[in-house]
Amino acid sequence: MARRPVVATTSADGGFTLVEILVVIAIIATLVGLVAAIIPAAMRRKQVMRAQTLVNGVGAALEALALDGEQYGKYPPSRPRDLKIGKNFVGKELGQPNDLNSGIESVFFLLNNPLIHCNQVTADEELIGNADDDVFRNARGNASDPQAREYLDPWGQPLAYFHSNDYKDPKGLTEILSVDGTRIEVHPKKLSARAGGGWLGPNSFQVFSVGPDGVQDPDEAEDGDDIVYSGR
User: Tens of pLDDT along 142-153?
Assistant: 556 789 999 999
Angle between the N-to-C axes of helices 102-111 and 18-67, in degrees from 0 to 180, rounded to the nearest 10? 70
Of all residues in the chain, the percent with pLDDT exceeding 90 is: 56
Of all residues in the chain, the percent with pLDDT exceeding 70 is: 91
Element spanning 201, H or E: none
User: Which pLDDT tens digit goes with each residue over 18-56?
Assistant: 888 888 888 888 888 877 777 777 888 999 999 999 999
pTM here? 0.82
Q: What is the pLDDT, as a whole number, of residue 167?
A: 97
Q: What is the mean pLDDT of residues 100-125?
A: 86
Domain ranges of the chain: 18-230
Residue 164 identity? S
Please answer whether residues 139 and 156 qualify as being in contact, where contact means their C-beta atoms are separated by less than 8 angstroms. no
Question: Closest by alpha carbon to 204, among 75, 104, 42?
Answer: 75
Please answer whether residues 101 and 183 qualify as being in contact, where contact means their C-beta atoms are separated by less than 8 angstroms. no
Q: What are phi and psi of 107, to 5 degrees?
A: -65, -45
State how far the Cα of 113 lies from the Cα of 58, in Å rounded to an integer: 14
Please answer whether residues 190 and 224 qualify as being in contact, where contact means their C-beta atoms are separated by less than 8 angstroms. no
Considering only 25-29, 59-63, 143-147, 214-218, which range has the smallest mean pLDDT?
143-147
Check the CA dihedral 130-128-171-216 and report its sign.
positive
Q: What is the mean pLDDT of residues 97-105?
A: 96
Mean pLDDT, the chain, rounded, equals 87
Q: What is the pLDDT, as a whole number, of residue 203?
A: 95
Asked if pLDDT for residue 210 goes beyond 70, the answer is: yes
* Residues paired with 100 in a beta bridge: 175
Residue 141 pLDDT grade (very low, low, confident, very high; cuts 50, 70, 90):
low
Which residues lie below 8 Å from residue 162, measured CB to CB, with a gap of 6+?
A: 78, 103, 170, 173, 188, 205, 206
